[in-house]
């Protein structure tokens, strides 16, 4: 048991490290650019040097690297906290693997390298007002018209829809069969006539997501991925390709800030951290954070041996999101009456904990609610059966629906 790289891993790490040292963009280079331009500058630079999407085959713009090399790259890149943020994660993490699995060779060569180079930004048009956790209940419909399909309906929770070039889309092509069987998968140009994007204002006051409306939007049949009615299977490819998130940054800055806060603020005229109730909470959060970190190390060890990480890696969001919410809430308790003030200049850490408190409810829902994550663990890891479903085997248009 040790934490060391193999010789091959060490050589790769040093190559990655020295390239990053020489090529990470400086503050001067990025100055004056918008976040999309910054992201594109960095992505293009990596692409030109062979450091973009390194797991992908070379013919599609990648490097043909191994999984552990991807992890090592992520670790090294995450040591540069001031790099531009990414706007490519949906495209590279979800659209590209789906294209590589289901598109024609000509389409792969046309679209995938432009995802690696950052020329194109893609978004994901899956969730709907009536289809969230129950994604296959989606209602946006597609009707065949010659060699085209005509799309009508509404998608929701689409990150980056307003600046995306393309989108991956699941729609209903047949409402007369059970819900999973009537879906078909497409990709489309987001500038197609009839696509309208409206930002959603979140309870935090920010807008990170959109509603996307489709009114008689035309998509050529050649942009269908998989057969008509096979959309659910294609969607599974997309959903299984969540980015290999292990081994990344996760420096635990929030926890360190909380620890500092408990050492700085007083409770009964003593540093708050001396209070046993405060200590117990901090200890428990440390246990959860450390447990996630070492679970990640175990997954890395599997990747390093060329194996697939075990199911224990699926607990991250279910542990992390509620814990962060509790930490934020408790940090505000430590501030006592000042906890309710959310002011960059007045609040400790520039309002970090108030920011967290308001952001976390979204994280507990996005990408699978806590409840769905618990179901996934129960069903896929523990092998427990699904709840009986009342919509099973029934044509979609006969499934009971509520008002929401």
Partner 1 sequence: MNFEFSDEQNLLRDQARGFLGTHCPMSKVRAVLDGDEPTDRALWEKIAELGWTATAIPEEFGGLGLSYLELAVIAEELGRAVAPVPFSSSVYLATEALLLTGSRAQKEKWLPKLAGGETIGAFAMAEGPGRTTATNLQTTADGGVLNGAKAAVADGDVADIAVVVSKADGGAGASLSLVELNADGVSIQPQRTLDFSRSHARLEFTDTPAEPLGPPGQGWALVEKLLDRAAVLFAWEQVGGAEAALEMAKAYALGRYAFGRPIASYQAIKHKLAHAYVKNTLARSNGYYGAWALNANAPELPLAAATARVSASQAYYYASKENIQTHGGMGYTWEFDCQFHYRRAKLLSVNIGSEVQWQDKLVRALEQSNAA
For binding to partner 1 (CB under 8 A), which residues are involved?
Answer: 1-5, 259, 263, 273, 276, 279-280, 282-284, 286-288, 290-295, 297-298, 300-302, 304, 312, 315, 318-319, 371, 374-375, 377-379, 381-388
Round to the nearest angstrom and report the end-to-end CA distance of the chain.
Answer: 53
* Minimum CB distance to partner 1 smaller for 371 or for 398: 371
Q: How far is the CB of 163 from partner 1 (least distance, A)?
A: 36
* Minimum CB distance to partner 1 smaller for 171 or for 300: 300
Strand 122-125 relative to strand 166-172: parallel, antiparallel, unpaired?
Answer: parallel
Contact between 143 and 74 under an 8 Å Cβ cutoff? The reply is: no
Task: Give the contacts of 142 (CB within 8 A, at least 6 positions apart).
Answer: 149, 150, 151, 171, 172, 173, 184, 186, 219
Q: How far is the CB of 308 from partner 1 (least distance, A)?
A: 14
Q: How far is the CB of 77 from partner 1 (least distance, A)?
A: 17
Contact between 107 and 247 under an 8 Å Cβ cutoff? The reply is: no
Q: How far is the CB of 379 from partner 1 (least distance, A)?
A: 7
DSSP string, 170-199: EEES-TTSBGGGGEEEEEEETTSTTEEEEE
Strand partners, 178: 395
Q: How far is the CB of 244 from partner 1 (least distance, A)?
A: 14
* Minimum CB distance to partner 1 smaller for 52 or for 282: 282
* Minimum CB distance to partner 1 smaller for 166 or for 330: 330
* Minimum CB distance to partner 1 smaller for 116 or for 282: 282
242 is known as an active-site residue: yes
Torsion of CA 77, 81, 82, 85, to 10 degrees: 70
Identified catalytic residue from 29, 37, 119, 242:
242
Residue 91 per-residue DSSP state: I
Catalytically active residues are 242
């Amino acid at each position: 048991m040790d934490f060391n790289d193999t010789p091959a891993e060490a050589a790769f790490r040093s190559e990655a490290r020295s390239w990053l040292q020489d090529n990470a963009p400086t503050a001067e280079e990025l100055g004056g650019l918008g976040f999309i331009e910054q992201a594109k500058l960095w992505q293009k630079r990596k692409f030109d040097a062979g450091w973009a999407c390194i797991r992908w085959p070379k013919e599609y713009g990648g490097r043909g690297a191994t999984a552990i090399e991807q992890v090592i790259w992520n670790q090294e890149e995450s040591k540069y906290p001031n790099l531009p943020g990414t706007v490519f994660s949906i495209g590279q993490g979800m659209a590209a693997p789906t294209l590589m699995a289901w598109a024609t060779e000509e389409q792969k060569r046309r679209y995938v390298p432009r995802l690696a180079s950052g020329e194109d930004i893609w978004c994901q048009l899956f969730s709907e007002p009536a289809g969230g956790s129950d994604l296959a209940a989606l209602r946006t419909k597609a009707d065949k018209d010659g060699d085209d399909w005509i799309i009508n309906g509404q998608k929701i929770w689409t990150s980056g829809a307003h600046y995306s070039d393309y989108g991956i889309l699941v729609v209903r092509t047949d409402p007369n069969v059970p819900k999973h069987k009537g879906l078909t998968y497409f990709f489309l140009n987001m500038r197609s006539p009839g696509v309208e994007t409206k930002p959603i204002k979140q309870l935090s006051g920010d807008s990170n997501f959109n509603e996307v409306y489709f009114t008689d939007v035309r998509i050529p049949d050649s942009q269908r991925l998989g057969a008509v009615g096979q959309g659910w299977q294609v969607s599974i490819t997309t959903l299984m390709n969540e980015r290999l998130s292990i081994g990344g940054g996760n420096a635990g800055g929030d926890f360190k800030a909380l620890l500092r806060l408990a050492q700085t603020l007083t409770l009964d005229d003593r540093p708050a951290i001396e209070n046993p109730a405060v200590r117990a909470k901090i200890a428990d959060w440390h246990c959860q954070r450390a447990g996630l970190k070492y679970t990640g190390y175990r997954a890395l060890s599997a990747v390093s041996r060329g194996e697939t990480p075990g199911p224990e890696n699926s607990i991250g969001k279910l542990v992390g999101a509620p814990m962060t919410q509790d930490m934020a809430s408790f940090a505000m308790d430590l501030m006592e009456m000042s906890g309710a003030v959310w002011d960059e200049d007045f609040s400790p850490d520039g309002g970090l904990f108030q920011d967290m408190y308001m952001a976390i409810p979204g994280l507990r829902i996005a990408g699978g609610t806590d409840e769905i994550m618990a179901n996934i663990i129960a069903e896929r890891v523990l092998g427990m059966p699904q709840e009986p479903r009342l919509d099973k085997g029934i044509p979609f248009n006969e499934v009971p629906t509520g008002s929401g």
